[in-house]
């Protein structure tokens, strides 16, 4: 039986890796997701076949509860709420690891008669898993707007408080690894790590949430791998390392896209973040040029190249299908239509890619930031749909701006710009967008889906 289980694990690992390879492109992403899911199913079955497995009614109860809660939630979630669900599901994984570490402590009488590496791996999993669980819940609250998206700090006490929490968690862990078996110690580890997760994420602003989600995802993977080492479970080690490695790579890529180092982003949780007052600019004294759907349609109908710049506003309005219809009409008139995608547009990695893929937009039409920026000077009309901070020229021109140095889509280098937006409100970074006041920019106010639908009707009439 042990050999059979090992064979099943090997098959599961192969499916994990093959499925992950499929996620590199939209055409194979769904298939890759299913392949990886099958691999996980095989890994679960293999684990249940291990000798000594018991408490079947608890296992069945867990499977039933997970299915009843998880499947309907995943099927009903709106694309605009997908980042929140990713944060929540990621947090559940970290929380599960932390609870397993607690159970392991109890069943081994404080890791008595266990090798030292088991205690160290389990305590590491408890700390990182708890940080991931509570940090992910705070990220969920910020994205769901249950908590303010702005940095929330305790002022000068922020850094000392976090240092104290780290020291408490480490001190309790050292005591346990040294042989102490009081359950209050493991509870202290979990509570200190929980408070640390909350206090680290609260001061990080909403604009950094995509990076935070990716980082916490990596934390969950690393904690699962460590717990697998403690339990001598190969499947948990491999799956955790895959998640941890991929999450770490993605976090690094996104941080580079924002011209921020990962320590600088996390430093917001150690007193480095400052709150920014939304709309604090002088927008009332600066002229803004507005336009209509009819004028926008005429302008695009006589263009040679149109570049669509999607952002979170498109996701909120669910305008991707209307955008695809508009693009089809323009392409029918011989106009080239491309999509400029910023790596951190939206609220999670790949948010815009997912929305446009849902609308059957050709993957070849999606251009990454560097390629898009090289094409903006040859673009007649740049149509910005709900993208704010990632198009703000202040990132290049204003050293005093909180986003100064962040790579942006240089929409302002296009010959003309049309911005679809509900109002003049600021983006997630909480600052005014200088693009709105550029003389070549025209603002089309209203719901993005309704505005694009009106443009579609005007194009049909031309």
Just list the catalytic residues.
389
Nearest to 438 by CA among 224, 319, 312, 289: 289
The span from the CA of 345 to the CA of 210, in Å, is 9
User: Is 239:93 a contact under the CB 8 Å cutoff?
Assistant: no
Nearest alpha carbon to residue 220 among 358, 124, 351 = 124
Helix axes 234-257, 26-48, angle to 10 degrees: 150
Sign of CA dihedral 259, 261, 266, 267: negative
Cβ–Cβ < 8 Å for 298, 335: no
Cα separation, 230 vs 118, in Å, equals 4
Burial (0-12, 13-18, 19+ Cβ within 10 Å), 396: middle
283-291: long-range pairs with CB below 8 Å, 24+:
283/424, 283/432, 283/436, 283/437, 286/437, 287/437, 288/424, 288/436, 288/437, 288/443, 289/439, 289/441, 289/442, 289/443, 290/442, 290/443, 290/444, 290/445, 291/418, 291/442, 291/443, 291/444
Mention every residue, 6+ apart, whose C-beta is less than 8 A from residue 259.
405, 406, 407
CB 20 within 8 A of CB 32: yes
d(CA 219, CA 91): 10
Tell me phi and psi for residue 305, to 5 degrees: -140, 130
């Amino acid at each position: 039986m042990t050999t059979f289980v090992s064979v099943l694990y090997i098959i599961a690992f192969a499916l994990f890796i093959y499925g992950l390879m499929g996620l590199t492109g939209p055409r194979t992403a769904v298939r890759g997701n299913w392949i990886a899911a099958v691999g996980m199913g095989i890994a679960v079955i293999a684990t249940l076949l291990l000798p000594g497995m018991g408490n079947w009614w608890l296992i069945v109860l867990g499977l039933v509860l997970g299915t009843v809660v998880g499947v309907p939630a995943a099927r009903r979630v709106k694309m605009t709420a997908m980042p929140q669900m990713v944060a929540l599901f990621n947090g559940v994984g970290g929380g599960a690891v932390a609870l397993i570490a607690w159970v392991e402590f109890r069943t081994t009488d404080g890791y008595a008669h266990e090798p030292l590496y088991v205690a160290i791996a389990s305590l590491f999993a408890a700390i990182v898993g708890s940080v991931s669980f509570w940090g992910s819940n705070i990220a969920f609250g910020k994205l769901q707007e249950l908590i303010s998206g702005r940095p929330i700090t305790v002022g000068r006490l922020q850094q000392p408080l976090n240092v104290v929490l780290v020291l408490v968690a480490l001190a309790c862990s050292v005591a346990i690894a040294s042989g102490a078996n009081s359950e209050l110690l493991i509870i202290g580890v979990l509570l200190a790590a929980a408070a640390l997760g909350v206090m680290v994420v609260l001061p990080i602003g909403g604009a950094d949430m995509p990076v935070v989600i990716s980082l916490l995802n990596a934390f969950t993977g690393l904690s699962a791998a460590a717990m697998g080492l403690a339990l001598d479970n190969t499947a948990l080690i491999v799956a955790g390392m895959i998640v941890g490695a991929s999450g770490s790579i993605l976090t690094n890529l996104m941080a580079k896209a924002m011209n921020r180092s990962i320590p600088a982003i996390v430093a917001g949780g150690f007193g480095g973040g400052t709150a920014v007052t939304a709309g604090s600019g002088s927008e009332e004294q600066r002229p803004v040029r507005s336009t209509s759907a009819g004028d926008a349609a005429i302008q695009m109908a006589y263009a040679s190249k149109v570049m669509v710049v999607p952002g979170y506003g498109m996701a909120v309005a669910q305008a991707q299908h209307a955008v695809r219809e508009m693009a089809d009409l323009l392409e029918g008139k011989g106009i080239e239509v491309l999509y400029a995608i910023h790596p951190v547009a939206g609220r999670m990695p790949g948010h815009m890619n997912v929305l446009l893929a849902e609308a059957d937009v050709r993957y070849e039409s999606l251009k990454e930031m560097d390629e898009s920026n090289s094409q903006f000077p040859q673009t007649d009309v740049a149509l910005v749909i709900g993208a704010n901070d990632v198009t703000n020229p202040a990132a290049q021109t204003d050293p005093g701006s909180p986003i100064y140095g962040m790579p942006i889509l240089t929409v302002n280098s296009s010959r003309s710009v049309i911005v679809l937006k509900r109002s003049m409100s600021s983006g997630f970074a909480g600052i005014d967008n200088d693009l709105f006041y550029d003389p070549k920019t025209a603002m089309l106010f209203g719901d993005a889906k309704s505005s694009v639908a009106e443009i579609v009707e005007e194009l049909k009439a031309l």
